[in-house]
Structure 1
Amino acid sequence: VVDAINAGAKIIVVGGAICKATDVRVAIGNLKKAILDRERVPVNLFKRASNGNIRGILEKVSTANISNGSHRLRGITGLQSISLETKMIGQAVTVRTYPGDWAKPVEAVDKAEEGSVIVIDSGGVGPAVWGELATHSAIQRKLAGVIVDGAIRDSSEIRKLRFPAFAKLVMPNAGEPKGFGEIGIPVSISGITINSGDWIVGDGDGLIVIPKQEAKEMANHAMDWLEKENRIREEISHGKTSLGEVMELLKWEKR
């Protein structure tokens, strides 16, 4: 605001500084002071992300925040979290392989960069293409997690290792490493196309895929939504209002 006034601005449009504030009256007072006295007022609101800090922003938000901030973006369905509440954030390394053929998934671990998520399309069926030993290898490579549209095994051991893993099926039998398939090509899971480099976020609610070219904008929208929810939570916890009043639900009721 101060920079805008000093630059000669006659009209100031303010959004988040007020609508996200826990006390709107205080926020308005601070804003007036900044305009009249040209004094900067410290705020704790989020600064928009750049391409260099996308991971840091995604670590702060949930898949629900991302979905809300992207007009109820649909997540990947039909997969279960093996590691329960463990959060997963990273860029995808995609793998397409045949059911039970775990050669390409293991090869992808060796090729992936630190912080990546291995995304495996094995046709949505068994036998397993991922297990405890592949998980140990991924941990050594400092990977962020694995998604398997197919089967995984050694689930108890993977859970103990707290390695983020999502899979369609869990079963004891694995296949044989035949070497069929490809790494780095687009794959589709539950109707959602995933390309290598796309951002993957997984938590207790499920999985969200963020296209690489849209990552900065979607991360910003998710953080914006989180701040709005923080303000609503603050109002409710102090007994000022209810969720229905905050969201003005009555105005949508049919009369």
Structure 2
Amino acid sequence: MRTVVVTDPPRADAEQVDALAAHGVATVHEAMGRTGYLGPGIRPVHLGSRVGGTAVTVLSWPGDNLMIHVAVEQCRPGDVLVVTTTSPSTDGMFGELFATALQHRGVRGLVINAGVRDVAELHAMGFPVWSAAVSAQGTVKATPGSVNVPVSIAGELIRPGDAILADDDGVVCVPREDVPAVLAAAEARAAKEEATRAAFRRGELGLDRYGLRDRLPGLGIEYVKYGEDGS
């Protein structure tokens, strides 16, 4: 495996990333045609955070956090650090000291396809983390990897500078060149959802609003009065 540190990759527009984050992971995922989601295995360590930022990617050896140390130097304000390993790992590769260094650099959060620790401290300092595991298991600092190269989590490609959006529903990645189009699609979806919300508040049923009622007979669904089916 070639080990490199790529400096100053292009990044998605910060204002557009912030606007995307405001719509939330689920809306953006749907607006993208149900792509970009990093899967149910990446969960928030604490609920209640919503962030958007540009990816600084890290490819590390399992149980070895050397390249996270290397990556900190490459982070800028508005970034989200995205870490994965060359094979599955649940070791606690990241904790409160890393978060302190990243907060100083204006990093908005961490997405890691491995483990984290110091959970109480991370919560107290308000540093959002999405991870595959929580583990006190320590790591070493010995094996080279890469920073700011394309990585994959749950089959989704993440490149340096791509938009990373994370909230209580999980994490979604938007390719940096697609951010303007996805933002427009998310805004349109949000407007449509608001119209539907208003309709539901008036009492309209989803069966009618979505045109589902007429489809039921074709699916073999029958309405019968209580007792007529032998119950």
TM normalised by structure 2 equals 0.83
1:95 aligns with 2:58: yes
Larger RCO, structures 1/2 (Cα 8 Å, 6+ apart): 2
Q: What CA distance in whole angstroms lies between the structure 2 residues aligned with 1:186 and 1:233?
A: 39
Larger radius of gyration, structure 1 or 2? 1
| The one of 71, 93, 96 aligned to 1:108 | 71
1:72 aligns with 2:30: no
Number of equivalences: 205
| Counterpart AA for 1:88 | V
1:85 aligns with 2:78: no
1:188 aligns with 2:152: yes
1:55 corresponding residue in structure 2: 17
Runs of 4 or more consecutive aligned structure 1 residues displaced over 3 Å after TM superposition: 50-53
2:224 corresponding residue in structure 1: none
Q: Give the direction of change, closer, same or farther, for the CA distance of 1:197–1:156 in structure 2 (3 Å limit).
A: same
| The one of 187, 190, 198 aligned to 1:226 | 190
Contact residue 99 and residue 125 of structure 1 kept, 8 A: yes
| The one of 126, 130, 133 aligned to 1:166 | 130
CA offsets per residue over residues 196-225 of structure 1, 9 Å max, x none? 011111111111110111111111111110
Contact residue 244 and residue 250 of structure 1 kept, 8 A: yes
Pick the structure with more helix per residue.
1
CA offsets per residue over residues 150-174 of structure 1, 9 Å max, x none? 1111112112222121111111122
Q: Give the direction of change, closer, same or farther, for the CA distance of 1:97–1:65 in structure 2 (3 Å limit).
A: same
Q: Give the direction of change, closer, same or farther, for the CA distance of 1:126–1:70 in structure 2 (3 Å limit).
A: closer
Unmatched tracts of structure 2, length 5 or more? 1-11, 219-231
| Counterpart AA for 1:250 | R
1:121 corresponding residue in structure 2: 84
Q: Give the direction of change, closer, same or farther, for the CA distance of 1:51–1:94 in structure 2 (3 Å limit).
A: closer
Contact residue 66 and residue 73 of structure 1 kept, 8 A: no
Q: What CA distance in whole angstroms lies between the structure 2 residues aligned with 1:115 and 1:220?
A: 21
The alpha-carbon deviation at position 243 of structure 1 amounts to 2.4
Between the aligned residues of both structures, percent identity stands at 24
Report the more deviating stretch, 209-218 or 65-74.
Answer: 65-74
| Counterpart AA for 1:83 | H
Report the more deviating stretch, 202-211 or 69-78.
Answer: 69-78
Contact residue 65 and residue 223 of structure 1 kept, 8 A: no
Unmatched tracts of structure 1, length 5 or more? 1-49
TM normalised by structure 1 equals 0.75
| Counterpart AA for 2:54 | Q
The alpha-carbon deviation at position 107 of structure 1 amounts to 2.2
Q: What CA distance in whole angstroms lies between the structure 2 residues aligned with 1:249 and 1:64?
A: 22
Q: Give the direction of change, closer, same or farther, for the CA distance of 1:113–1:127 in structure 2 (3 Å limit).
A: same
| Counterpart AA for 2:73 | D
Q: What CA distance in whole angstroms lies between the structure 2 residues aligned with 1:175 and 1:81?
A: 21
Contact residue 14 and residue 78 of structure 2 kept, 8 A: no
